[in-house]
Structure 1
Amino acid sequence: MAKGTGMTTRSGRSDHRLLRRWWRSRGCAGAAALLLALAGTLVVSPRPARAAAAITIDGASGGRMFDGVGAISGGGGNSRLLIDYPEPQRSDILDYLFKPGYGAAMQIMKVEIGGDTNSTSGAEPSHQHTRGTVNCDRGYEWWLMGQAKARNPNIRLVGLSWGAPGWIGNGNFWSNDSIDYLITWLGCAASHGLTIDYLGGWNERGRDLNWYKNLRAALNARGYAGVRIVASDDFGWGSADDALRDPAFGAAVSVYGSHYVCGYRSAQTTCPSSANAVNSGKTLWASENGSDDYNGGAPALARGINRGYLDGRMTAYLNWPVIAAVTPNVPWATTGVAVAPQPWSGYYSIGRSAWVMGHTTQFTAPGWRYLDSSSGYLGGNRDNGSYVSLKSPDGRDYSTIIETMDAGSAQDLRFGVTGGLSAGTVHVWSTDVRSSNPAEHFVRRADISPSNGSFSLTVQPGHVYSITTTTGAGRGAATSPAQGVLGLPYGDDFDGYRTGRQARYLSDHQGSFEVTPCAGGRTAQCVRQMSEQAPIFWTSGHAEPYTLLGDLNWRNYTVSSDVLLERSGYVQLVGRAGNYNHDGPQNLNAYYLRVADDGSWSIRSNDTGGTQRVLAGGTTTALGTGRWHRLSLTLDGATLTAAIDGTTVGRASDSAWVAGQVGYATGQGVPAQFDNLSVTPLGSGPSATGEIRGAGSNRCLDVDGQSQADGTVVQLWDCHGGANQRWTATSGSQLTVYGTKCLDAPNASAGTRVRIWSCTGGANQQWRINADGTVTGVASGLCLDATGQGTANGTAVVLWPCNGGSNQRWIRA
């Protein structure tokens, strides 16, 4: 706006040089406009259009072979719950992940070679728990690979270890044992009709050059010469440096794979490799990236897919993980390209990251080639965005993928097509990555008919575009049902499963709990903890085996199960299990009933920091080994009651944990069996009035200073039962405190601090309490959030985009 004799810039500064440029560029018309402005009339001058950027798509350009864009199933149980989904939702999710022309259309998938130990979001079972005992039907990765192949027969499969059973090399992964172990795994894959294209070493744990050379020789000798080796799935490009010093190592390896080449959980603006890697002649991969929210990580994904090739000549991009099919108490519960946390309700959600991925995968295929001279940064400026062009093997079709994540304005692009590429119709698809409206994701735009091999396109900021001569792209139309709770009572006798499978909803976090024939004289099926010694850990913590099941909102109940110890040690029932920290030695917010073979028992509380408190304990008749007993743990408010074989052995009083899942646990290396799980509710669940606890902090939603004044902010504070922490969920979707004050959001924008205010009935005082523990504002659609993932007293509570974090989940007492 004109002011005095200057022109105000967006920063509010008067800039006479800007005025002079403006005047010269507009001549008399500009002078007239300025006079009107000086006379007090507001004149909005249009922003000058950028000069069109010229891009030549040249089919004669050289470039590297494209290997694909996809993701990782593993690095910790992140796909666990997907197999338990009902139809048609299970097939719908799989279609969104793998089906060409439907969603993410993944072209490459890396899977974890299970090792009976936690590798971030859980533990995956080994095909060989003990030396020589192979079972190729364990776990769900075989099933998932088969489903991916059924939808896309050309998908490439990669295997990689995170942890491993402890018998391997007597705890040394870099041993001949692990080579034999991996080759046995390849044989299991073949038994499922699967061909593994690539095999890695030990995820993010360095490399032993001789081991890789020995692996290559063993693969060649045992019929797997076609399996290519990836080294070393670590950070950086040291493998390329090592190959210069040890050519035999270089000869053994086909791919140099590096993790988080653009920076860990970064914006992925710059994605370099190294001169030695580029000049090695080897294939280079960004072999693990992402670890970001399925919606919030989409801009970084858009940059990284393009820039990994532009900056570092990487020809594959693997996002971690494929999907977050885990319950919300698990770390990284919303990472991947989709979430599937509730098989009992069938609820799932497809993220913006899926559509960003689809902009490359639906318009290219492994075997296409990059066109180096037709790829770069728009206008030579990274801030404008990037583009890569690829051509089909026959040299006719082409696709150009453009991202404008950081652009400040629209850009006019002028394309010329040459070098034998098709001069036919150009199809255009786009996604507004900044929009949360699904109608703006993966939208087919008007076709373009080139004239003499030329055409133009205007691209908007914050978008991904695919311009292509290919056909067959599409956007899936399946929709998810609503979220819902897993109802009580709940039970499972485990008799309906095949040996080696995981029981429904049971998710292992250490060890391996799978269905086996019962011992102790029973003829049916039971769940057995299979890990008989400490594994080769991937995490820094050495947690004992445990597995969890259930709804995080389960509050007052009795969990019971038959148990049998196979050797001296102890078993545990778990109740009110909440968050866990995968790096801790004993890392779960929960209560335990621990009973040993000698009859000693205890009721315990544990937290994510590994602080364990014995609340009660004693000794009863010895359980012994090889005999069945019935254990029960009742959680009724603050009263915790333990029973063995129907006899109450003790009680404790504690209020640390108010709701959560159930589970089984054992001592390290203790094989034990479990049967006839029962979870029986007490009372009617959460009351309408009570505390609201943060799942991540275990602190209460608290009105600051116990004030009743309008505008008083709400925060986290130690739970004490005061009136300023007692909230009532009303039939009008309000959360009231003191009887007359409502939880209130003064506006609907992210970062708004919530407060109390006299109840008005407005939408800004209405809240949805969701089955996953989140609380969303009716007016804003945003989640109630402990800011900065804080857990300390005084942490502000604000509105924030929902991301599934523990700082956005709340438990009503």
Structure 2
Amino acid sequence: MATRNGRTAWWRPGRGAAAVAAVAAAAAAVLVGLTTPAQAATAVTINGSSGGRALDGVGAVSGGGGNSRLLIDYPEPQRSDILNYLFKPGYGAAMQILKVEIGGDTNSTSGAEPSHEHTRGAVNCNRGYEWWLMEQAKARNPNITLVGLAWGAPGWVGNGNFWSTDSIDYLVAWLDCAGTHGLTINYLGGWNEKGYNVAWYKNLRSALNSHGYGSVKIVASDDFGWSAADDALRDSTFAAAVSTFGSHYVCGYRSAQSSCPSSSNAVATGKALWASENGSDDYNAGAQALARGINRGYIDGKMTGYINWPVIAAITPNIPWATTGVAVASQPWSGAYSIGKNAWVMAQTTQFTAPGWRYLDSSSGYIGGNRNNGSYVSLRAPGSGDYSTVIETMDATAAQTLNFNVTGGLSTGTVHVWSTNVRSNNTTDYFVRGADITPSGGAFSLTVQPGYVYSITTTTGQGKGTAVSPAQGNLKLPYSDTFDSYAVGREATYLMDQQGSFEVATCGGGHSGRCVRQMSEQAPIYWTSGHAEPFTLLGDLTWRNYTVSSDVMLEKSGYAQLIGRGNTYNHQGPQNLNGYYFRVSDTGAWSIRSNNTSGNWRTLASGTTAALGVGRWHTLALTLNGSTLTAAIDGATVGTVSDTTWVAGQIGYATAQGVTAQFDNLSVTPVGTSGGSTGEVRGAGSNRCLDVNGASQADGAVVQIWDCNGGANQQWTLTSGGQLSVYGSKCLDVPGTTQGTRARIWTCNGGSGQQWRVNADGSIVAVGSGLCLDVNGAGTANGTAVQLWTCNGGSNQTWIRG
């Protein structure tokens, strides 16, 4: 028996399978923490002569959209550390495929990505951050496969019709841009999740061939299902045009990924089949599904590519899907990041294989023929006897002994064993090297525990990165940017486009230097069903009382807006934001407005001042101080109003649809105070207050979130002793130290369950457990429970005291 870090590998070279099984079963019964004995041993033959398809790779999507935005703004060395965890072989997720969005100036889930061609013929190959990300990925893994796909496009393309010659020319121009960055794109898709047009794919193939891109393979149709494969069996020209059929969420959308079929027609085409978008799950909680899906996509459907959505959540916590991917990087100003369990599950395949390795069909399947026991896939390196077998036991309830027999020209040398305990929340249990196994006559055994992923391999070079994130911290005020330090076409630091395209341009109207310009001159070809006007966000969700000021110049009739206290927004159409807006038009009409995620616009104050005109610069300012909102133009106050709806959040720029405007000299300066020692405690994610249920003063009354109403049951005092008291004699209390412990009130007694640390980043940490005060499930509805949970920086763990 060989043991390392609590993981036990059982092997007895030269013994018969029955003897090995008996020894393994007896020993498994005494393993620490094991409540049921190992099942009867399962025989697995790893046959290098088995037929099977070639692996195309496992990777992820950057885009669909804006989810990688803040990564480029990270300081060094953290930026390189994160990139290494994503792409560097032998270090972290070691992605083999990187699929990127071809930006279209329109929201495509978590933001909008800029187009390389805002207007017909005006190509700029340096916009956005996807070129940079591909360069960084390629520098770390020169063999990484690059894939491009459009979610939307500027409105000039086909006059709004994507399935047009214009879009083909548009994609060819994008490939030309890739060449200027030294990048070779391996695959190109059509229009994400918008069906397909057979004639268009044929024309795309012809255009790629005629422009020197004959080696670029076409993926169809990046939608749900395999109907494109059905058409390929009926249309040989279409079949010849397409190299790979890719379907989305083949295991079910955000499912357990227990069953992942393709279709008989898809397999019959003989083409490569991909799960070309999968996941959409939390970077930790999605690990079990990911472990199943990577294996089962091949076992069930002969899919040789698996692409997770997305690569990383490099967005602030108020943006939709703020914790999906394999890592979270929401604070470039502090350098803080977190590598998820998903990264290590992915590594259990990517660090042990490479594109071109061949699956061994007869050596892949379900343990004992039972899905609930788990699955395994085996792959062989080309031109070599090396092999790897990846085993997942996500649904197993007991340890299982696997008796392996290696044959068919494969190496019978030392087998290396790595594992990840997917059920564990301890990072030391992820991607752990166990004891090597020395087979005898090609035979060896391994006892696998439930809830694990194992990789057994004859290869070397695997490793687990050691870089550590710094602590989180707020983006401090005052904050300012003149935009003069950026190259034209780039995005200003921390500015996150949600609709339209705000990029650095040479100032017009007599302003020197550079400005931020809203570039989209027409409604785009949308990907989402709802269509917000162009807007972009910047800053920290804990910003509360401040003045946001900026010089603004309208280039055409319409309006521009400053956003204040922007927080949660809804990406389902249209993209409505909780926040305040100061809107000014060229005619001089102005208004202070409030919006919410349901699109309930309210005009709080309005009026008319001297016409601003077009081509002329003016200074707009919006001051938010407690409940007082004040708007000014060129230093003169035009309106003041009182409103208590939104208490904290980001700043931003916005314009009317199709209105090009320039912004310069951004300034965000703090005003007033952060409030007294007693007041409400608002959740940044819900904008609701920490509330004692039913205004009860009884010990044990539960604490929840509720609409802020100024009641005594919502007035909390941070005492010098680190307690949060309410009613003067009751304290916020937790009766335990484990995740999910419900918060309540209790007579103040100074106990450890009543000690809290209120941090500058808005988190409230229970001293006794180190866990954060958390709104259950990131809920935002009245009555949602408040509890303890592992600190993750989410908006449901960010609180603003007033």
Instruction: Give the TM-score range, shorter chain.
Output: over 0.9
AA aligned opposite 2:440: S
The correspondence for 1:699, drawn from 685, 688, 699, is 688
The correspondence for 1:729, drawn from 697, 718, 723, is 718
Deviations 1:687-716 (A, max 9, x none): 443212233432211111222211011122
AA aligned opposite 2:523: A
Match of 1:296 in 2: 285
Shift, 1:764, TM fit = 2.8
Judge conservation of contact 1:334–1:803 (CA < 8 Å) in 2.
Answer: no
Match of 2:741 in 1: 752
Match of 2:176 in 1: 187
Match of 1:620 in 2: 609
Match of 1:394 in 2: 383
The correspondence for 2:201, drawn from 206, 209, 212, is 212
Match of 2:218 in 1: 229
Q: 1:769 to 1:356 in 2, by over 3 A?
A: farther
Judge conservation of contact 2:562–2:582 (CA < 8 Å) in 1.
Answer: yes
Judge conservation of contact 2:541–2:684 (CA < 8 Å) in 1.
Answer: no
Shift, 1:750, TM fit = 3.9
AA aligned opposite 2:642: S
Q: 1:228 to 1:694 in 2, by over 3 A?
A: same
Q: 1:763 to 1:261 in 2, by over 3 A?
A: farther
The correspondence for 2:564, drawn from 555, 567, 575, is 575
Match of 1:6 in 2: none
Q: Does 1:590 align with 2:579?
A: yes
The correspondence for 1:534, drawn from 518, 523, 526, is 523
Unaligned runs of 5+ in 1: 1-43
Q: 1:349 to 1:211 in 2, by over 3 A?
A: same
AA aligned opposite 2:205: R
Deviations 1:710-766 (A, max 9, x none): 101112222111121012234544322223322122223444322111233333333
Unaligned runs of 5+ in 2: 1-32
Deviations 1:292-324 (A, max 9, x none): 111111111111100111111100100000000
TM-score using structure 2 length: 0.94
Match of 1:201 in 2: 190
Match of 2:28 in 1: none
Instruction: Give the whole-Å Cα distance in 1 for the aligned partners of 2:291 and 2:575.
Output: 38
Match of 2:136 in 1: 147
Shift, 1:250, TM fit = 1.6
Shift, 1:452, TM fit = 1.2
AA aligned opposite 2:398: S
Match of 2:12 in 1: none
Q: 1:427 to 1:686 in 2, by over 3 A?
A: farther
Shift, 1:796, TM fit = 2.7
Shift, 1:360, TM fit = 0.4
Q: 1:663 to 1:113 in 2, by over 3 A?
A: same
Q: Does 1:251 align with 2:240?
A: yes
Q: Percent identity at matched positions?
A: 75
Shift, 1:379, TM fit = 1.4
Deviations 1:59-109 (A, max 9, x none): 011110001000000001000000000000000000000000000000001
Structure 1 stretch displaced more, 711-720 or 565-574: 711-720
Judge conservation of contact 2:565–2:650 (CA < 8 Å) in 1.
Answer: yes
Deviations 1:327-373 (A, max 9, x none): 00001100000000000000000011000000100010000000111
Q: Does 1:379 align with 2:365?
A: no
Instruction: Give the whole-Å Cα distance in 2 for the aligned partners of 1:54 and 1:671.
Output: 67
The correspondence for 1:429, drawn from 406, 413, 418, is 418
The correspondence for 1:765, drawn from 749, 754, 762, is 754
Instruction: Give the whole-Å Cα distance in 2 for the aligned partners of 1:613 and 1:445.
Output: 61
| Secondary structure of the corresponding residue to residue 155 of structure 2 | coil
The correspondence for 1:676, drawn from 653, 662, 665, is 665
Structure 1 stretch displaced more, 633-642 or 773-782: 773-782
Judge conservation of contact 1:127–1:135 (CA < 8 Å) in 2.
Answer: yes
Q: Does 1:738 align with 2:727?
A: yes
**Matched residue pairs, number?**
770
Match of 1:3 in 2: none
Q: 1:705 to 1:639 in 2, by over 3 A?
A: same
Judge conservation of contact 1:293–1:803 (CA < 8 Å) in 2.
Answer: no
Deviations 1:640-683 (A, max 9, x none): 00000000011011010000000100000000000000000013
Match of 1:81 in 2: 70
Judge conservation of contact 1:157–1:196 (CA < 8 Å) in 2.
Answer: yes
Q: Does 1:318 align with 2:295?
A: no
Judge conservation of contact 2:61–2:310 (CA < 8 Å) in 1.
Answer: yes
Shift, 1:583, TM fit = 2.0
The correspondence for 2:80, drawn from 83, 91, 110, is 91
Judge conservation of contact 1:575–1:663 (CA < 8 Å) in 2.
Answer: yes
Q: 1:271 to 1:731 in 2, by over 3 A?
A: farther
Q: Does 1:363 align with 2:352?
A: yes
AA aligned opposite 1:434: R
The correspondence for 2:780, drawn from 791, 800, 811, is 791
Structure 1 stretch displaced more, 578-587 or 199-208: 578-587
Match of 1:55 in 2: 44
Match of 1:110 in 2: 99
Deviations 1:504-537 (A, max 9, x none): 0000000000000000112201000000000011
The correspondence for 2:252, drawn from 257, 263, 268, is 263
Match of 2:30 in 1: none
Instruction: Give the whole-Å Cα distance in 1 for the aligned partners of 2:66 and 2:47.
Output: 44
The correspondence for 2:334, drawn from 319, 334, 345, is 345
Structure 1 stretch displaced more, 314-323 or 705-714: 705-714
The correspondence for 2:650, drawn from 661, 668, 674, is 661
Q: Does 1:332 align with 2:321?
A: yes
Instruction: Give the whole-Å Cα distance in 1 for the aligned partners of 2:169 and 2:213.
Output: 12
AA aligned opposite 1:421: L
TM-score using structure 1 length: 0.93
| Secondary structure of the corresponding residue to residue 52 of structure 1 | strand
Instruction: Give the whole-Å Cα distance in 2 for the aligned partners of 1:640 and 1:48.
Output: 67
Instruction: Give the whole-Å Cα distance in 2 for the aligned partners of 1:275 and 1:586.
Output: 39
Instruction: Give the whole-Å Cα distance in 2 for the aligned partners of 1:721 and 1:803.
Output: 29
Q: 1:733 to 1:437 in 2, by over 3 A?
A: farther
The correspondence for 2:165, drawn from 176, 180, 184, is 176
Q: 1:566 to 1:699 in 2, by over 3 A?
A: same
Q: 1:189 to 1:731 in 2, by over 3 A?
A: farther
Judge conservation of contact 1:371–1:391 (CA < 8 Å) in 2.
Answer: yes
Q: Does 1:708 align with 2:697?
A: yes
Instruction: Give the whole-Å Cα distance in 2 for the aligned partners of 1:397 and 1:88.
Output: 35
Instruction: Give the whole-Å Cα distance in 2 for the aligned partners of 1:46 and 1:160.
Output: 48
| Secondary structure of the corresponding residue to residue 444 of structure 2 | strand
Judge conservation of contact 2:692–2:713 (CA < 8 Å) in 1.
Answer: yes
Q: 1:170 to 1:421 in 2, by over 3 A?
A: same
Match of 2:493 in 1: 504
Instruction: Give the whole-Å Cα distance in 2 for the aligned partners of 1:51 and 1:449.
Output: 22
Deviations 1:423-452 (A, max 9, x none): 111111111111111111111111111111
Q: 1:353 to 1:494 in 2, by over 3 A?
A: same
Q: 1:171 to 1:773 in 2, by over 3 A?
A: farther
AA aligned opposite 1:501: R
AA aligned opposite 1:258: S
Judge conservation of contact 1:558–1:634 (CA < 8 Å) in 2.
Answer: yes
Q: Does 1:519 align with 2:508?
A: yes
